[in-house]
Amino acid sequence: MDHKSDISARPPGPDGVARKAAGQPLYLRVAATLKEEILGGLHPVGAQLPTEHELCARFAVSRFTIREALRQLRDDGLIMSRQGAGTVVVPAAAPDLYVLHAMSINDLLTFTTNTRFEIEMMKMVTLDDPLAARLDLQAGDEWLAIRGFRHAEGMEAPVCWTEYYINREFAAVGRLLPRHAGPIFPLIEDLFALSIGEVRQEVTAVLITAEQAARYQVDEGTAALEVRRIYTAADGRIVQVTVNIHPAARFRLSMTMRRVKP
């Protein structure tokens, strides 16, 4: 493959980027192609990537798109940019580090699609005061609880411990989950003809418990990040709450914020 090749073997769309992963932002598709080339050895460690101008011409995209794609590769630890030296490929990050790039609800689909969830418990639970406070829900309400570890290809230890709490109005989705490999909230949207309009995310520092330590292959009390997401439908109902607990040394959450003009 040379630098003039398309993003994939499929015919490119009108924007010059192949239709592969068409649901992703344009810069992520460009970044994914460059990442495949770097990991495949087309751009070896120490080599310079083509210039921004050359990449713009190759992918038929704007300089802004290329810069965002390169930022993504920097966040992944694959390249380094130096003033006057261009963009250089560097050794890849440790294989046991999982990076989640979150800019939209669609990015959460990528996370769950690229990992495998092993259900260890699924049952209806009545929220007691401590659990309700942890989830920011009403004590005494009944929710479908699904708990287990999530795994990523190539990683020996689990990516995270995951807890799903599904509003009892939508608990019927549970019967499909043992045979369902992807994210849950799109399944709820399809089954109940509703739309998730907002996901609120909070990140808290916690410690790995004794029960989790052996599975994570870390010591009890190891620092971890608890990521809680509350999924709210367009009509204001809370549909799902998800809690992921990641050992801090194995997880990085990357978020991009842009100024919105009034």
| pLDDT, tens digit, 9 for 90 and up, residues 213-251 | 888 888 999 999 999 999 999 899 999 999 999 988 777
- Checking if the pLDDT of 4 tops 50, the result is no
Separation in Å, CA 83 to CA 70, 86, 87: 15, 7, 9
Structure tokens at 44: 């070896």
Strand 86-89, strand 98-102: pairing:
unpaired
- Checking if the pLDDT of 174 tops 50, the result is yes
As a residue count, the chain comes to: 262
Q: Which residues are within 8 A (CB) of 12 and not within 5 positions of it... i.e. 6 or more apart?
A: 6, 18, 19, 60
CA angle (86, 80, 225) in 5-degree steps: 155
Give the number of other CB atoms < 10 A from CB of residue 52.
15
Distance from C-alpha of 36 to C-alpha of 21, rounded to nearest angstrom: 14
Structure tokens at 234: 């367009």
Q: Is the separation of the CB atoms in 238 and 230 below 8 Å? A: yes
Q: What is the mean pLDDT of residues 86-115?
A: 63
Q: Is the separation of the CB atoms in 135 and 125 below 8 Å? A: no
Q: Which amino acid is at 172?
A: A
pTM: 0.61
Q: What is the mean pLDDT of residues 47-51?
A: 91
Q: Which residue has the higher pLDDT, 181 or 117?
A: 117
Give the number of other CB atoms < 10 A from CB of residue 61.
20
Strand 98-102, strand 251-255: pairing:
parallel
- Checking if the pLDDT of 183 tops 60, the result is yes
Q: Which residue has the higher pLDDT, 101 or 143?
A: 143
pLDDT band at 140 (very low <50, low <70, confident <90, very high): very high
Give the number of other CB atoms < 10 A from CB of residue 21.
15
For every residue of the chain, DSSP letters joined together read: --TTS-SSSSPB-TTSSBSTTTTS-HHHHHHHHHHHHHHTTSS-TTPBPPPHHHHHHHHT--HHHHHHHHHHHHHTTSEEEETTTEEEE-PPPPTT-EEEEESSHHHHHHHHHTEEEEEEEEEEEE--HHHHHHHT--TT-EEEEEEEEEEETT-SS-SEEEEEEEEGGGGGGGGGGGG--S-SHHHHHHHHT--EEEEEEEEEEEE--HHHHHHHTS-TT-EEEEEEEEEEETTS-EEEEEEEEEEGGGEEEEE---PPP-
